[in-house]
Amino acid sequence: MPQEEDEIIRQRQRERSRMLAILLGLFVVLMFAITIAKLTVNR
Amino acid sequence: MTSVPLTRDEHLPADWRDLLALTKPRVMSLVVFTGLCGLLAAPGPVHPVLGFTAVLCIALGAGAAGALNQWYEADLDAKMKRTAKRPLPAGRMSRQTALHFGVGLGVFSVILMDLAANHLAAAVLAISILFYVLIYTVWLKRRTAQNIVIGGAAGAFPPLIGWAAVTGDVTTLPILLFAIIFLWTPPHFWALSLFVRTDYANAGVPMLPVVAGVQSTRRQILLYTLPMIAAAVAPWALGLAGWVYGIVSVILSVIFLTLAFAVFTNKATEPKSMGPEKKLFGFSILYLFGLFAALVVDRWLI
């Protein structure tokens, strides 16, 4: 595999991993907020 | 279905921007707006976090449906100028990635809706995704000129889902909101398909202008506008919405009818002379935004 293509693959993988990490972080925050909201509504 | 030939690029991991493009963000904006309006028009309180999550799920569900639509239609998209630059026909992503992304996003959106809202909202969301992918994309689009008429139901679900997320049920008003979008879809898409019909013809999609001709499509646009207007004014006429919605719906409907009549009387066959069609297509988006915004204003500010 040419070095150029290898670099593109690694760059895309890095960007996707970063994006996935951000989304997972947001998902955790959202789940926490939903849990608190449900507790508030059901009280 | 013929598959898109594999290209060297398909072996590269997809860029996240292409995954985002797969969700059709521009189409999603109208879906999110109508879903949000359905949610805000519903009686009763909704916790802001749960309301936000419900709208997020509607957006994710629409994105999933868009991704699966592009996965299935990669060969068609490659033949049309308007869609040839999408990630799949342009060879920037493998079809398998698109399939996994679409299915994963769809399942995630339904489960999250069930957790945050209720079973009914989650069920209607699941139905809307399946309807768009299986009934419209797989079954109708390539087979019949009525594809838009029946398939329009897929885009009409969001206000129903928004309403159901708040109340846990479905009453007359959300059904009327569904009917408005359902009846609005044919004139909206047929106006577009008139000036891009060559694209559809080249791709072998049996859109009405390709199958029945330009004049017949113009007549159908005018005919479908009438029940659409009846549905648009009905919430006010039945006392389900107030005077703001009544005034806005009547004014916007008169303009829509005028533009639809201009399309009906236009005899042009070349896209460059289809000014009335382009005007109607542009206004139809504003029309839907205006109706739903007026409904929310009526409920919250008056």
Contact A34 B116 (CB under 8 A): yes
* Per-residue tokens: B224: 């479908």
The residues in B 142-181 lying below 8 A from A, measured between CB atoms, are: none
What are the tens digits of pLDDT across the range B261-278? 999 999 988 888 899 999
How high is the pLDDT of residue B1?
A: 45
Percent of chain B exceeding pLDDT 90 equals: 74
How far apart are the C-alpha atoms of B86 and B31, rounded to whole Å? 20
Find chain B residues with C-beta within 8 A of A13's C-beta.
13
Cβ density class B229-246: b for 16+ within 10 Å, e for less: bebbbbbbeeebbbebbb
Angle between helix B243-265 and B214-237 (nearest 10): 170
Mean pLDDT of B38-48: 93
Find chain B residues with C-beta within 8 A of A39's C-beta.
none
Query: Looking at the predicted complex, does its ipTM rise above 0.85?
Result: yes
What are the tens digits of pLDDT across the range B9-40? 455 788 889 999 999 998 888 899 999 999 99
* Per-residue tokens: A4: 């150029």
How high is the pLDDT of residue B11?
A: 57
Q: What is the mean pLDDT of chain A?
A: 90
The answer to whether B70 and B86 are in contact (CB under 8 A) is: yes
How far apart are the C-alpha atoms of B48 and B229, rounded to whole Å? 33
Contact B16 A19 (CB under 8 A): yes
How high is the pLDDT of residue B81?
A: 85
Amino acid at B13: P
How high is the pLDDT of residue A1?
A: 62
Q: B53 to chain A nearest CA, in Å?
A: 8
Size of the A and B interface in Cβ pairs below 8 Å: 33
Find chain A residues with C-beta within 8 A of B12's C-beta.
5, 8-9, 12
The answer to whether B58 and B159 are in contact (CB under 8 A) is: no
How far apart are the C-alpha atoms of B225 and A36, rounded to whole Å? 46
How far apart are the C-alpha atoms of B31 and B73, rounded to whole Å? 21
- Give residues with Cβ within 8 angstroms of B20, minimum separation 6: none
What are the E-state strand segments in B187-265?
Answer: none
Instruction: Tell me which residue in B13, B47, B49 faces A12 most closely, judged by beta carbons.
Output: B13
Instruction: Tell me which residue in A8, A13, A33 faces B49 most closely, judged by beta carbons.
Output: A33
- The answer to whether residue B2 scores a pLDDT higher than 70 is no
- The answer to whether residue B5 scores a pLDDT higher than 50 is no
What are the tens digits of pLDDT across the range B144-203? 888 888 888 989 999 999 999 999 999 999 999 999 999 999 999 999 999 988 888 888
Find chain B residues with C-beta within 8 A of A40's C-beta.
47
How high is the pLDDT of residue B3?
A: 46
A12 to chain B: closest CA residue? B15
Q: Does B44 touch chain A (CB under 8 A)?
A: no
Instruction: Tell me which residue in B13, B49, B115 faces A13 most closely, judged by beta carbons.
Output: B13
Q: Does B14 touch chain A (CB under 8 A)?
A: yes
Q: How many residues does chain B have?
A: 302
Instruction: Tell me which residue in A9, A13, A37 faces B50 most closely, judged by beta carbons.
Output: A37
Mean pLDDT of B82-88: 90
